Amino acid sequence: MAPSKTRTIKNKHAGPKGSTGAAAKGGVKRSATDGVSKPKSKKPKGPVVSQQVKEKNRALLMKRPKKKTYTAEELGIPTLNMITPIGVEKPKGKKKGKVFVDDKESMTTILNLVQAEKEGHIESKMIKARQLEEIREARKVEAEKKAAEKKSMLEDTKESLRKKRKRKNDGKEDNDTKSISLTGTKANKASRKKVSFA
């Protein structure tokens, strides 16, 4: 096992491929040999001829097919009948198919991008949440304040009413509150009972 040996080609389709027609031709030739019809098509022409032709002529023979290649414009094929719709330019010299990401660098780049984005999302969410929280807090405080105010108002009115009623025995009141604060309401009740029974 030698993991250190293992590595993949970095983005093998990304780089510019053989751009000229020669490369394309080479590709065609190779596929022809791979094809099923190989023996039929090749036998009569290629090898037989090449064997008979002498060394000097061979270079010539190799050259000749180059001239035969025509570009699409040269052939004057009507553009409307193309498979690729007009306006969509097929990138030349590039192989079709997907571009894979398998090297560390590009993966890291993508990851960083994604994470930055995510970070931003989360951050904004957090900020939003915090703001909401603040607002809520503020509201809460306000509500509390209001409640307190109301309560105090109520207390005030109560107090005023009580004062009105108990104005007559003013001197006794001080004593009363004192005993309440000392003994609690229960004691107060009991004492009141006593009073009623007595």
Where along the sequence are the contacts to another protein (CB under 8 A)?
A: 1-4, 6-8, 98-102, 104, 106-108, 110-115, 117-118, 122, 125-126, 128-129, 133
Closest contact distance (angstroms) between CB of 103 and another protein is 9
d(CA 30, CA 33): 5
For another protein, the closer CB: 82 or 116: 116
Closest contact distance (angstroms) between CB of 91 and another protein is 16
For another protein, the closer CB: 15 or 171: 15
Residues in contact with 102: Cβ distance below 8 Å, sequence separation at least 6, in sequence order: 8, 10, 11
Q: Residue 17 corresponds to which tokens in the numbers above?
A: 């491929």
Residues in contact with 93: Cβ distance below 8 Å, sequence separation at least 6, in sequence order: 16, 17, 18, 19
d(CA 113, CA 119): 10
For another protein, the closer CB: 122 or 161: 122
Closest contact distance (angstroms) between CB of 42 and another protein is 24
Closest contact distance (angstroms) between CB of 115 and another protein is 6
For another protein, the closer CB: 119 or 155: 119
Residue with tokens 């780049």: 109
